[in-house]
Amino acid sequence: ADFSLEPTRNKEFIINAKEPFNAEPTPERLIQSFVTPTEHFYVRNHAPVPLVQESSYFLKIDGLVGKPLLLSIDDIKQQFEKVTITAHLQCAGNRRTMMSDYKKVKGVGWGIASLSNGVWAGCRLRDVLEKANAFPVGNGAKHACFWGLDVGCPEDEGKPYGSSITMEKAMDINGDVILAYEMNGETLTRDHGYPLRVIAPGIIGARSVKWLDKITVSSEESTSFFQRRDYKIFHSGVDWNNVEQYWDKTPSLQELSIQSAICIPAPNSHLFLPFSIYGYATSGGGRKIERVDVSLDGGETWDYAELMGEEKGNSNKYWGWTLFRYTIKSLATNHHHTTGNKSSIPIRICCRAWDSASNTQPKDVKDIWNLRGVMNNYSKSIQFTSYV
């Protein structure tokens, strides 16, 4: 693969892999604003970034449709209503590194910032599929398969990156799936899919295909490696010797689960009362974050955090993230260690979110461990030292 035409990137990124480029902002940077500035938005690529010329670009729509289409970017801007949504994207590999707390997992390591919150503008996927006279779901049109223009994913022997969502999600007026040409009010950047990408809110980032080349309406899921082999939660007994027999019987991931993490302060910080902790919470399927609990004793007792900046989508869906804050003014004093004239208290802080379906996060990583390290959302206790 040729990586000589990669775009220039922000020097502040934590780089998890250089080629293909995979990077996340520092946790502190991540939550500085409700909308993540484009230059700090995490990047998850599987191959070199394709160099696309808008003048020769056409989106193709084929498969189970009455009228296959070829659309230029101008066609897309002129023929379809422009809609804007605020939505977070989250990689199913977010917090993967922490999944190895129990047993080593394989994949690009990610900290807690393999997600970001963006404002996306483009046309509805639904409108494009209607124009193509896509067959109804009852006539076998079950999946919208997306193919990117990026080839050379080492996992998939030079095939373009691809994945699919259900036609039910694609056609749902409240599903808010869009073909985006703008991010945060500007033309998409190359790293984020210029000139056109899918934004499928509420489901794992892997389905929001960048540098969109073609949409095929099909009776089957995408045949891509990233739909059929990867981005699945295998049970904890599945290992690299027997995984092949589980590929077909394990469903591909779609909706995100519930997630939260503490971003500020950094683990092992020395804290002086009073202090505040800050983090993010998200859920899948547009479910609202109803509350975030914070514990100062490793999950024995809990209190409510203050929620900030949550935003509702066009329908009654919450695609954006929720940021939270919890201020600690005093601490129980039964664990003091007095050194000189200072008293230090070791504290283990953890958070857990709850959504509108009463989902919350597991306490033990062991219960959700899987060999690819996907969908890690365990409520991990982080160690700090406080001084009174």
**Residue 208 binds ligand MTE (CB under 6 A):** yes
205 lies in the binding site for Mo ion (CB under 5 A) = yes
Using the contact rule CB under 6 A, the part of the chain among 44-52, 242-250, 265-273, 364-372 near ligand MTE is 44-52
Residue 41 touches ligand MTE, criterion: CB under 6 A: yes
Other residues' Cβ atoms within 10 Å of the Cβ of residue 241: 7
Closest approach, Cβ 158 to Mo ion, in A, equals 20
**Can you tell me the distance from the alpha carbon of 309 to that of 45, in angstroms, rounded to the nearest whole number?**
29
Contact with ligand MTE (CB under 6 A): which of 150, 176, 293, 355? 150
Region near ligand MTE per CB under 6 A, out of 39-47, 237-245, 255-263, 299-307: 39-47
Out of 47, 145, 206, 331, name the contact with Mo ion by CB under 5 A: 206
Q: Tell whether residue 97 is a contact of ligand MTE (CB under 6 A).
A: no
Answer with the entry of ligand MTE, Mo ion, none that 161 interacts with (C-beta below 5 to 8 A by kind).
ligand MTE
Phi-psi domain of 118 (left: phi exceeds 0; alpha: psi -120 through 50; beta: other) = beta
Instruction: Give 278 or 280: the residue with its C-beta nearer to Mo ion.
Output: 280
Q: Is 111 in the site for ligand MTE (CB under 6 A)?
A: no
209 lines the binding site for ligand MTE (CB under 6 A): yes
Q: Least distance to ligand MTE from the beta carbon of 152, Å? A: 10
Tell me if 211 contacts ligand MTE by CB under 6 A.
yes
Q: Which of residues 29-58 bind Mo ion (CB under 5 A)?
A: 44
Please, what is the minimum distance in Å from the beta carbon of residue 154 to ligand MTE?
11
**Residue owning tokens 């779609």:** 254
User: Nearer Cβ to ligand MTE, position 190 or 291?
Assistant: 190
Tokens of 303: 């209190």
Q: Which residue has the tokens 């027999």?
A: 245
CB of 192 to ligand MTE, least distance (A): 4
**By the rule CB under 6 A, 135 interacts with ligand MTE:** no
Per-residue HEC secondary structure of the chain comes to CCCCCCCCCCCCCEEEECCCCEEECCHHHHCCCCCCCHHHCCEECCCCCCCCCHHHCCEEEEECECCCEEECHHHHHHHCCCEEEEEEEECCCCCHHHHCCCCCCCCCCCCCCCEEEEEEEEEEHHHHHHHCCECCHHHCCCEEEEEEEEECCHHHCCCEEEEEEEHHHHHCCCCCCEEEEEECCEECCHHHCCCCEEECCCECHHHCCCCEEEEEEECCCCCCHHHHCCCCCCCCCCCCCCHHHHCCCCCCCCECCCEEEEEECCCCCEEECCEEEEEEEECCCCCCEEEEEEECECCCCCEECEEECCCCCCCCCCCCCEEEEEEECCCCCCCCEEECCEEEEEEEEEEEEEECCCCECCCCHHHCCCCCCCCCCCCCCEEEEEEC
**Binding status of residue 44 toward ligand MTE by CB under 6 A:** yes
Cβ atoms of 319 and 176 closer than 8 Å: yes
The correct pick among 169, 210, 372, 380 for binding ligand MTE (CB under 6 A) is: 210
The answer to the question of residue 233 lying near ligand MTE (CB under 6 A) is no
41 binds, among ligand MTE, Mo ion, none (CB under 5 to 8 A by kind): ligand MTE
Among 13, 135, 161, 234, interactor with ligand MTE by CB under 6 A: 161
Instruction: State how far the Cα of 341 lies from the Cα of 388, in Å rounded to an integer.
Output: 10
Residue nearest to Mo ion (CB): 91
Is position 197 an interface residue for Mo ion (rule: CB under 5 A)?
no
Please identify, using beta-carbon distances, which residue of 208 and 360 lies nearer to ligand MTE.
Answer: 208
User: Which lies closer to ligand MTE via its Cβ, residue 44 or residue 232?
Assistant: 44
Output 200 or 350, the one with its CB closest to ligand MTE. 200
Q: Residue 192 binds which one of ligand MTE, Mo ion, none, with CB within 5 to 8 A depending on kind?
A: ligand MTE
CB-CB neighbours of 144 under 10 Å = 30
What are the residues binding ligand MTE (CB under 6 A)?
Answer: 41-46, 89, 91, 148, 150, 161, 192, 205-206, 208-211
What are the residues binding Mo ion (CB under 5 A)?
Answer: 44, 91, 205-206
